[in-house]
A and B are shown apart, each in its own frame.
Chain A
Amino acid sequence: MDLLERAPIELKSWLLNWLGSFGVPEWILAVLSAVTVIGTVIGVFLGLFALASVLERKILARAQNRYGPNRVGPFGLFQPVADGIKMITKEDLVPRAADRVVHFLAPVVMMVPALMVLAILPYGRDMVPAELDAGILYFFAVGAGTEVAVFMAGWASNNKYSVLGAMRAIAQMISYEIPLVIAAIITAMISGSLSPSAIVAAQGGFAFGFLPQWFALTPWGFTACLLFYIGALAESNRSPFDLPEGESELVAGHLTEYSGFKYATFFMAEYVGMFAVCGMLVTLFLGGWQAPLPFLAIVPTWCWFLGKICFVAFTMIWVRATLPRLRIDHLLAFAWKFLLPMSFAAFFSAACWHYAGRGPLAWLLSLAIVAIPYLILGASFSDRFSVSRRTYQFSE
């Protein structure tokens, strides 16, 4: 089991030693070491993307009592191959009035941060591609680059739907970034570090010998986890927050003028970004690579991490299958009038939990501090959005 646990690391060092035995210079080995890590991480996430693109369609279909794709290969699992061939062979259109350079750069700028943020996630015990002390800061700073890419795409397309979609995307992403970052800061505050590895370590161990001490299992952590989850949905432009590409009113938003491989790049970046933010959520709130129960620790840690990412991604697909798209004013009202106060409540609750000694009393106190604002805010929102019989002023 220990062998399996360390298999990726051992494999890499074996490969480098083997190459070293041929007298390959040291600096080439260093570069190769980095390339293998980067290649593995990107490969795994692109594999996850390919798998997600078909499984998402199958899960959505099942939620609507349909079969979903089942023609290409066994159970339709080769669908991504067919999709890829289709995307690559499609004509790459650029509108005549478009800003060609920016139009070309936008998918690249979208893809780069999506891949760069993968560097700081702890994939397993001692498995962090780039051990940064301010890893969380790096994650959000680099991740914000996707907003620029979305606006580049919308602006360069020279199309009213693209610009509208991009404007919405900016409004939405900036609004939702605030609760997202505050939720992340809470964990940094409790664990006393901005390093993802330290945050995972702070969630280690088991209370009473079996209860995992993940942040998501405390009242403030659960609230922050949900806030982070909602923010993550909005950041990765997923339903019910997929307004920037809301096809019912905006054709495809900033993607309207993209086709072929550029469209595929956007699509890929969106999915990789989604998995990255799922990985961040797992790291911050769901104990990272730690097993949920003591006896399950025999399963390699990187399996736990990938499993948890897949689980969070599945819930995102599940939410997409369930909830209708929000209206833009509801969306922004929800961010500023509900998520933001709730994130402050969770922040305060976490602080009280820490200073009340992290015991049962602290638990109850922090529960009260998040539950009361939730009920008050929730009630006011329920009134605002409640459905009642429509009255007509002029007819009748």
Chain B
Amino acid sequence: MNFPGSGIVKGLAVTARNMVGSYFEKDRLTTEQYPEERPKLPENSRSFPFLVYDGEDAEAGMRCVSCKICEKECPPQCIFIIQDRDAAGKALKRPKVFDIDISVCMSCQICVEVCPFESIRMDTDYGLSSFDRFGSLVLDKAKLLKSNSYYQSIHPTEAAETDARLEADRKKKEAAASAKAAAAQKATKAAEPIKPEAAA
């Protein structure tokens, strides 16, 4: 039989169990002590875009060719690109300036979707707050460029896929190039017999 007030006693027992239990059973406490304990982010988490480069040298291995597709597609228009030019004024296949304003960026990943060169990818770093309202929230090229190995470390599955695709593309290109070269050789070989004639 429930005597009057038994509900209160039951409730007190529950809170007492929590009070004592939370000191002995660590899995009762679900709080993460943030600066010391970092959450294990899921692999597909994303914060803001960054630029991938291959190899060791950021400038030389930069995948970006300054096609500006991302700049055009970006819904909040947070990407700003100036194409690099050589001394003669001829456009080069690399950006001179590549800025992303992360105070505007909405992490939609559309730039990643549209990039044909697998150059722009989403980062997972979220600790980007600063005391500076404007300067440090605009990430320039030097800050945006991160190595392919870093990309592999934060998104292993996606990076492996990208690498495989790039590798396949490279092989196809090589095959095409060698086929072209062979064809060219054939053509030259075919053309060769004419030469003596011409010489004659």
Q: Which residues of A contact B (CB under 8 A)?
A: 59, 62-67, 70, 318-319, 321-323, 374-375, 377-379, 381-382
Contacts and interface: CB of A to CB of B under 8 A. Distances in A.
Nearest to A378: B4
Contacts of A377: 4
A65 B11 contact: no
A377 B3 CA distance: 11
A379 B3 CA distance: 8
B8 A323 contact: yes
Interface of B: 2-5, 8, 11-12, 14-16, 18-19, 21-23, 28-31, 33
B28 to A, nearest CB: 5
A390 B165 CA distance: 61
B interface: dominant SS: helix
A319 B11 CA distance: 9
Given A62-B19, A62-B23, A318-B15, A379 B4 contact: yes
Which 6 A-B residue pairings sit nearest by Cβ, starting from the closest? Answer: A378-B4, A63-B15, A322-B11, A322-B15, A62-B19, A65-B28
A interface: dominant SS: helix
Contacts of A319: 12
A318 B16 contact: yes
A63 B18 contact: yes
A93 to B, nearest CB: 28
B29 A65 contact: yes
A381 B18 contact: no
Contacts of A66: 22, 29, 31
Contacts of B8: 322-323
Nearest to B10: A322
Given A59-B19, A378-B3, A382-B2, A67 B12 contact: no
Contacts of A59: 19
A226 to B, nearest CB: 9
B22 A323 contact: no
A321 to B, nearest CB: 5
B19 A63 contact: yes
Contacts of B11: 322-323
15 contacts: A59-B19, A63-B18, A65-B22, A65-B29, A66-B31, A70-B33, A318-B19, A319-B12, A322-B15, A323-B11, A374-B4, A375-B3, A378-B4, A378-B5, A379-B4
